[in-house]
Chain A
């Protein structure tokens, strides 16, 4: 199993600013995943973060808007850049160990 800690757990941000979300895992993992969960909706994969290489983004998500860092095997950050109210969502970090995926508790972002 894996224990995933995300910071911050929630934030209220002004439009036009950026927020960096941190994800710390208690074990070394190859892949880390970032998801977005818009209000009342399901989870959508933003990108996959591999240590030592650039993140792979899903359709509809771009690096300029959601830059990701993966400096080591236990840590990753997701930045939500130049925020607008449409970015208000829960952002979740996930890791895969064998066939199971584990999730952090999420970061609830409100953009005003």
Chain B
């Protein structure tokens, strides 16, 4: 079976509800943040990103909010669907580096019909 996300915190939501996944990042020098979705047996897939000079960015059904004061990032998924079930990771890129990413702990999203 798939072990990714087995021991991660789980957010359970009903299909159609909105989901909010939170992440605390570690480095105040980070200038770029990304949310990734990882499905069973796959590598992480890019969902949405945000630069440190922004506090909100919207995509299709997803919104990322950045609060630099408390070093907090959130991912909002509107009208959650069964296909959204996966493990979600936030990642930060430290200013001045190349594309080296530091990943957060991850949250497993379980969508129930």
Contact = CB atoms under 8 A, between A and B. Distances in A.
Chief secondary structure at chain B's binding surface: loop
Chief secondary structure at chain A's binding surface: strand
Contacts of A37: 4
B10 to A, nearest CB: 11
Interface string A17-46: 000000000000011010101011111110
The range of chain A's interface size is 20 to 34
Contact of B43 (A30, A92, A96): A92
Interface stretch (B55-63, B70-78, B98-106): B98-106
A31 B98 contact: yes
Contact of A103 (B8, B44, B98, B106): B44
Listed from nearest, the 5 A-B pairs whose CB atoms lie closest are: A96-B99, A103-B43, A40-B7, A40-B6, A39-B3
